[in-house]
Amino acid sequence: MTEFQGEPMLPVQDDLTIEQFILDGQHPTRPRWYGQRPVLVEEDTGREVSSDELRARIHGLTNALKIRWDIGHDDVVCIYSPNHIDYLVALWAVHRLGGIVSTSNPMYTMDELTYQLRLVKPRMLMVHPSVLPVALKGAQAVGMPLDRIVLFEPLSGSPHQNIQNLVDFGLREVQQYTPLRLGPGQAKKLALLLLSSGTTGKPKAVMISHYSINVNIVQIAQHLRLNDETVPMDSKLYRPGSVTLAIIPFYHAYGMHKLLFGSIFFGSTVVISPKFALERTLQSIQRYKVTHLCTVPPQVLLLCKSPIVAKYDLSSVYFLQCGGSPLSAELQESIVRILPKCTIGQGYGMTEAATGITYCQTDGRLRAPGSVLLPGIVARVVKADGSLAGYNEPGELYLKTPSASLGYLNNPTATAETFVDGWIRTGDEVVVDERKEVLVVDRIKELIKVRGFQVAPSELEGHLLDHADVVDVCVIGIPDDYSVELPFAFVVLSPRAQERIKGSLEETSRARQEIMKHVSDHKAAYKRLAGIQFVDAVSKNPSGKLLRRVLREEAKELLKRGQLVVTTKSKL
């Protein structure tokens, strides 16, 4: 039996919440320089938040949530906001009360937000003013009282409470809550409900415990060997005075677990950016002497391609990690030319594993696009015939990790499909080489990765079939220089629609635009179709399953010949 294993993992205390472990917990892997720098910095203003101020703000908001709304054990609170200086305050205030946090993509439309609210059933919403109109419609759709919407920032004329007012109120009042205290083994209490598309279908709520997050932080910290005195300080991937720029969204597992939680544990100040924009990012790197960048491939591509990069001093950056989707060897070599003294590494993870699975080597070399299993993880590579692959043989990655999530909320069927006899089926095709480096080759699961966001084809297909002109459809991802992939639909029109467009380029174009608008009116921008190809039939196997791989190959050939109608392409 061929199994690949990371090194044995150090034990992790199982009676601490995420906040208790990261802010005050002690562990042999924790860097000894912890606490010497501000914890958070607001990108636009430069405002610094120390660990003491962070604790005070968490206490104030916790007290206010208890007094005003009696938030308590297992109550769900949904955060619907871009990155914000108080994101962590909101998250950990709910956890102090024994509550559960579900984070929402601020790009969601009303339909998508409503779907999440119905799925996780929150008692209240914490919302950024920029997305308040959508939040109000979502709350009304699920019958949530509007006085349970709290804003991250004051909004003139708004009747809604804001976090600063609540913090001030909570600090003035006598403490009226009892902080969550866990007994031995109780850290497996549910902490987070993060949306993931799993393998197919609409997003599912992944149930993640406090223990899962704490374990994964230790897995990464142990791999980094930050307290290993045999490793020279200037060779370590985190050092005293490190600064991480948060350009990955916190609602996503990568942004929350690896970037936000991990950086704080590793002693790195986090500069919080509300949204990635290339020039602002370059300005912040120079202004704050950023040392660490967590990125996705489209951001790396912009760093490599944009002429404005040369105007800025990026010499402070000594570690760039890329995740979300594989970074090609060619792009990796290009970014090295931009950041010649920087370690460039890749990581691989999934929400269901909460979150990190592999990490780059820590020896500072420029490497092929692979990464090694973290401590405590056991992996198998399963071939199509069910047998186990050896070195350099492709197959689906199965893994066991002590950081595994608890499954999908109220979805035993999907849970049984992904969590099998103690193993997580990742749905990714990989190869493991003799150095035990994991290289992601392709996706067996059907997700499309758009700028690091997951798009489930079946979600778009179900929506497209609601259009009167569509009788059958298959959605695939087509390659794109910036977004990595874009959703593209092969559509079979109804007989009536076929008759209408017959022989008319104008009617054909109108039908295509109307169907694409049907998606853009109801789905987040990254889910919008890049184009539509009208076909007589979509490829299926004898049991009726869509043959996406066949269509992907057909699309590549059509693209090469210039015969695929791509209406929208990403711009660099």
The residue extents of the domains of the chain are 4-15+193-443, 51-181, 448-560
Over the stretch 35-61, which tens digit does the pLDDT of each residue have?
A: 668 999 999 999 999 999 999 999 999
pTM of the model: 0.86
Least confident residue range of 329-333, 391-395, 567-571: 567-571
Q: Which CATH class is domain 448-560?
A: alpha beta
Tokens standing for residue 304:
């490599």
Judge whether 276 and 302 are in contact, CB under 8 Å. no
In the chain, % helix, strand, coil (3-state, to 5) comes to 35, 25, 40
Q: Radius of gyration over alpha carbons of the chain, in Å?
A: 24
Output the pLDDT for position 162. 98
Over the stretch 135-155, which tens digit does the pLDDT of each residue have?
A: 999 999 999 999 999 999 999
Output the pLDDT for position 543. 42
What is the widest separation between alpha-carbon atoms in the chain? 76
Q: Which CATH class is domain 51-181?
A: alpha beta
3-state secondary structure of 116: helix
Least confident residue range of 51-55, 263-267, 432-436: 432-436
- Is the fold of 4-15+193-443 the same as that of 448-560? no
Dihedral, CA atoms, 106, 56, 261, 180, nearest 10 degrees? Answer: -100
Determine the Cα–Cα distance for residues 527 and 520; give it in Å rounded to an integer: 8
Options 3.40.50.1100, 1.10.10.10, 3.30.70.890, 3.40.50.12780; CATH of 4-15+193-443? 3.40.50.12780
Determine the Cα–Cα distance for residues 96 and 240; give it in Å rounded to an integer: 29
Determine the Cα–Cα distance for residues 291 and 533; give it in Å rounded to an integer: 45
For residues 383-401, give the mean pLDDT: 92
Over the stretch 484-529, which tens digit does the pLDDT of each residue have?
A: 889 999 999 998 999 999 989 999 999 999 999 999 999 999 999 9
Name residue 518's amino acid.
Answer: H
Confidence label for 316 from pLDDT (cuts 50, 70 and 90): very high
Determine the Cα–Cα distance for residues 45 and 151; give it in Å rounded to an integer: 19
Position with higher pLDDT, 369 vs 458: 458
Residue 199 scores a pLDDT above 50: no
